Amino acid sequence: MRMVEITWDDAYSSSDWHTLEQAKKLLDRPNVIKSIGYLMAENKNRVVLVGSDGGDIFGEVQVIHKAAIIERRTLK
């Protein structure tokens, strides 16, 4: 497996009450995340990263939609 860094635009959720104007301002709120991990699998829609490789088991599993990916680079 190769190590990658993926920069992606994450979803946002809040249980707080918002006015319409406050909710509209959330459209401009950046929520950019950088994730580093082993590229475990991918298909046309998603990639799967893992943070720990235990041979037959894996930890810190993260699924990222490709439509949200801003940048992807392989680490050495």
Sorting pLDDT into bands at 50, 70 and 90, what band is 9?
Answer: very high
The pLDDT of residue 7 is 98
Measured in Å, how far apart are the chain's first and last C-alpha atoms? Answer: 12
> Which helix or strand (DSSP H or E) is residue 73 part of?
strand 69-74
pTM of the model: 0.83
The pLDDT of residue 76 is 87
Q: Report the C-alpha gap between 61 and 76 in whole angstroms.
A: 21
The pLDDT tens digits of the residues spanning 16-37 come to 999 999 999 999 888 999 999 9
Cα angle, residue 75 at apex, residues 40 and 63 outer, rounded to 5°: 30
